[in-house]
Amino acid sequence: MKRKILLITGLLLITIFVVTACQPAVVEEMAEEAAPVEEVNEEEVIEATQSYDCSDLKLAAIVHWQGPYTQQLIDGAIAAGEECGGEVQGAGPVAFDTTAQYAAFQDLVDSGADAIVTVGYPAEFWIKPIDEATNRGVAVSTFDVASTSSLQYIFAGPKESDLGRALADTIIEEIGADATGKIVTGLCLPGLDVISNRYVGFASVFAEKAPGVEVSQPYDVTFDNAENYAKWQEIITSKEPGAIAYVGFCENDMNNMAKIKEDNEGEYIIASVGINPESLAAVESGLGLVVVGQKPFMQGYVTMRAMIEGIVYNKPIPRGWVNVGPEIVTSENAATILAREESLSEGLDQTYQYYLPEIDEIFTDLESHVESYGDYLTQ
């Protein structure tokens, strides 16, 4: 069996602001505008170990753009399918493009998909497509961003504010609860709740546990990598020199802050949300104190397996939030996590085995791990 990853090519980057403006009423017009889909085959790495067989199911995982993080969302779903003999198709535009994402989703619904997991961003936009698919008998769940007002089944992921809390707790452990000084923060997408809630969680922990530390209002450090570097360089060297720490909440922040810190031989703390090879290397070397990850592999695995088991056993699929928790990486475990991430270029098995204890804990009693969406939305 081969695992198939569908890469949508030739797309133009649509800004976050345009996407946010999309409304459900225009959903019907989108499929005609999408770019073609290209299919790529890679070797299977997860053995079919489950007692049930899902080889006759049509399964898919759809992301909103292609990158290392979103590829792990797909990889987790693929692993859940492979261990019961199934094949999961992965789809996603090269650049952020809700039009293309929706078109891939609708194509799979129309072609008879049994289960699809997708990124529900923007949440309001995805209500109608998810509801229509579910009413047609397709099981739909979400990862990374939930569309909680839709008829989606499972959303798996950490609570966004918990990512910020994990950063704050680690920094306080380093500087002490009686510390003073200023921590300067930056958000890549200040208008997006799933990002700004990370800051809210971070600031709340300092207000409670280390009130002598001032946490700045977040600067807009943008999503684009080059602009992100320039923003952080200006903040660290000109606007806010002398801070005891600089903290970001997105994928590119640690990578760029580490370069700046190395260049200016800074003695301040840097920390961020976002696990990737560069951020892990920065923490392993001591430039960064901590990065916090979202366990994308677990998000993909949990959502897909929950749907597969419901379909195979003809039982109701739970509806609600499965909290996979944040992943905290410091110098103590950075080398281990970096090796796990690098192993993905050779297949999924090492990552699957790494998370297997957490997988077993969840699926020993899945129902007990499903919380309400109300719990998730209470940040």
**Ordered DSSP codes for 144-186:** SS--TTSS--EEES--HHHHHHHHHHHHHHHH-TT--EEEEEE
CB atoms within 10 A of CB 357: 9
Percent of the chain with pLDDT over 70: 87
Task: Record the tokens describing residue 101, joined without a space.
Answer: 């994402």
Which pLDDT tens digit goes with each residue over 351-372? 999 999 999 999 999 999 999 9
Its pTM stands at: 0.88
pLDDT number for residue 352 = 97
CATH class of this structure's domain 160-293 = alpha beta
Of 116, 106, 109, 13, which Cα lies nearest the Cα of 67?
A: 13
Which pLDDT tens digit goes with each residue over 274-319? 999 999 999 999 999 999 999 999 999 999 999 999 999 999 999 9
pLDDT number for residue 379 = 78
164 Cβ neighbours under 8 A, 6+ residues apart: 197, 198, 199, 200, 201, 202, 203, 204, 205, 249, 273
Strand runs (DSSP E) across the chain, as ranges?
2-8, 37-43, 59-62, 88-93, 115-118, 139-143, 154-156, 181-187, 213-215, 219-220, 245-248, 269-273, 290-293, 320-322, 327-329, 370-371
Of 216, 219, 207, 218, which Cα lies nearest the Cα of 172?
A: 207
- Tell me the CATH number of domain 2-158+295-324+346-377, given options 3.30.70.20, 3.40.50.2300, 3.40.50.2000, 3.40.109.10: 3.40.50.2300
Domain boundaries of the chain, sorted by first residue: 2-158+295-324+346-377, 160-293
How much is the average pLDDT of 84-110? 96
Which pLDDT tens digit goes with each residue over 142-152? 999 999 999 99
Q: Residue 183 pLDDT > 50, yes or no?
A: yes
334 Cβ neighbours under 8 A, 6+ residues apart: 280, 281, 283, 284
Q: Residue 90 pLDDT > 70, yes or no?
A: yes
Q: pLDDT category, 49, cuts 50, 70, 90? A: confident
146 Cβ neighbours under 8 A, 6+ residues apart: 120, 123, 152, 155, 157, 321, 373, 376
Higher pLDDT: 7 or 117? It is 117
CB 157 within 8 A of CB 121: no
pLDDT number for residue 45 = 52
130 Cβ neighbours under 8 A, 6+ residues apart: 118, 120, 140, 142, 147, 150, 151, 152
Q: Residue 123 pLDDT > 90, yes or no?
A: yes
Query: Which region among 12-26, 43-57, 193-207 has the lowest average model confidence (pLDDT)?
Result: 12-26
Bridge partners (DSSP) listed for residue 24: none
Higher pLDDT: 6 or 110? It is 110
pLDDT number for residue 24 = 38
Q: Residue 238 pLDDT > 60, yes or no?
A: yes
Q: Residue 91 pLDDT > 80, yes or no?
A: yes
pLDDT number for residue 33 = 46
Q: pLDDT category, 35, cuts 50, 70, 90? A: very low
Higher pLDDT: 326 or 46? It is 326
Mean per-residue pLDDT of the chain? 90
d(CA 125, CA 19): 9
d(CA 299, CA 366): 14
Q: Residue 8 pLDDT > 70, yes or no?
A: no
| Topology agreement, domain 2-158+295-324+346-377 and domain 160-293 | yes
Q: Residue 83 pLDDT > 70, yes or no?
A: yes
pLDDT number for residue 1 = 37
Q: pLDDT category, 321, cuts 50, 70, 90? A: very high
pLDDT number for residue 228 = 98
Q: Residue 25 pLDDT > 50, yes or no?
A: no
